Amino acid sequence: METLGAGPGRFEFNVDFTGAAGLDPAAGMKANSLVIAADAAAPHQVRVHYTGQPGTQSASFELIATGNGLAEFALDTNNGKIDFGLTAYELNRGDGSPLMPVASNWYLADTGLSNAADVILDTASTIPLDWNTALDSLHLRMGEVRAENLPATRHPTPAASSGNLWVRSRAYRMNATNSVTGRGFDQYGGGLTAGMDKLFPAGTAASLLGAFIDMGSISRDFDRRGDNTSNSVTLGAYLTRLHDDGWFADAVVRAGRYINKIDARTPDLRSIQGRYTSRALGGSIEAGRRLRRAGGWWLEPALQASLLWLSGDSFETSPESLRLHVAQDSLRSAQYRALLRFGRQSAGGKWNPYGRLGAAAVDSDGGTLHAHDKHLSPSYDGKRVEFGFGASYRINDSSQWHADYEYATARHYQRPWSLNLGYRRLW
């Protein structure tokens, strides 16, 4: 073709992806091509009819060669891509690279990750964040224990009482951007934690021993790229050591599993589904001191560390025409946190408000995803800052309720709200 006019047009190409590797030029045998010798202008749509599956190496097809490069071309798929496994092919102008060498020409090239890759990666990489969010229900419960057992503010309790039954519900939203794909998604999480514990006083100190069960659910929305869910059940135990001078130490152990369901959508709106289970084991420790001041005010600096081990697994996606074998390595994730809590608690008062500031660092190892000859290591490691506030209300000597709000932000995600509501009753 000598020239391409200023009006928009539509072009259709046949491409055979079978065993594709490296650059297939315009004179190649695996794809139709269009050569415009002189001027080309205006935006145009391109539809690709394809057969076969590409090889494991990166590949590109030179579909359009132009004389001046003024025209714009775009695939007419849902998001301008064609997906194969974890790989996405896009129509791009040449950039001087080995796969797209001529700046005025247009190439169908392996330049990114598919929608399936996006959905699978963010299923695995966000579980450590949810694990630590669920642990906060335990940390809040142990904060209640410290508040209830300060010598200056202890409330009288029924003589027959020997322990506590408690329950806490949580919900949060997280807006995140994947560090590997650069694409965003929304995550909503929630859960319920119930436990029982008993206090063992001993002179100027006391120990609290308890057990709990937690059930949680995560829902992730990737817009047109798909969605997925993770449901968890965990069991655990905790121990608190509290001294009358305010020093304290807490420890939590926890074990359970996450059942993950994946539903990704290709650019032509075909569904890719998968399911796998991850076993989880971990715990946390915290130490600090509650400093009491006049008028019921208190200040509590603390340091906290938690560790999670998440088992690896492998699974295959369906349907058969879109089958993809995925294997994931086991993951170790550690979180280190510094907190400053403050509030006011007066003897005989029913309301006990508080606030907190914190900074955390997350460090992960492992969790590499293997599929379609790609090896990807997603994570949401890095530093995070957070603040929150809440209050407890003593209904009577036997029962109490609690409410808590937190905001957190990090490099790759933001949690604009996290809510925690709880109730405790002596028994």
Q: Give the tokens for residue 367.
A: 């969790």
Task: Tell which wins on pLDDT, 170 or 50.
Answer: 170
Residue 160, pLDDT score: 42
- Residue 154 pLDDT > 70, yes or no? no
- Residue 26 pLDDT > 80, yes or no? no
For 201-222, write each residue's pLDDT tens digit: 888 888 999 999 999 999 999 9
Residue 56: pLDDT band with limits 50, 70, 90: low
Q: Kindly report which listed range (15-24, 129-138, 349-358) carries the lowest average pLDDT score.
A: 15-24
Residue 292, pLDDT score: 87
For 295-319, write each residue's pLDDT tens digit: 889 999 999 999 999 999 999 999 8
Distance between CA atoms of residues 157 and 172, nearest Å: 34
Q: Give the tokens for residue 245.
A: 């001078």
Please state the rounded mean pLDDT for residues 7-22.
82
What lies within 8 Å, CB to CB, of 357 at 6+ separation is 339, 340, 386, 387
Residue 32: pLDDT band with limits 50, 70, 90: confident
Residue 267, pLDDT score: 83
For 324-380, write each residue's pLDDT tens digit: 889 999 999 999 999 999 998 876 778 889 999 999 999 999 989 888 778 888 888
Q: Are residues 32 and 67 in contact, defined by beta-carbon separation less than 8 angstroms?
A: no
Please state the rounded mean pLDDT for residues 108-129.
86
Ramachandran category for residue 271: left, alpha or beta (phi over 0 → left; psi -120 to 50 → alpha): beta
Residue 262, pLDDT score: 93
The mean pLDDT of the chain is 87
What lies within 8 Å, CB to CB, of 36 at 6+ separation is 1, 2, 3, 4, 64, 65, 66, 67, 71
Distance between CA atoms of residues 34 and 29, nearest Å: 13
Which residue, 184, 165, 273, 283, is CA-closest to 224? 184
What lies within 8 Å, CB to CB, of 202 at 6+ separation is none
Length of the chain: 427
For 240-269, write each residue's pLDDT tens digit: 999 988 899 999 999 999 999 999 988 888
Please state the rounded mean pLDDT for residues 172-183.
87
Please state the rounded mean pLDDT for residues 166-173.
96
For 400-421, write each residue's pLDDT tens digit: 999 999 999 999 999 999 999 9
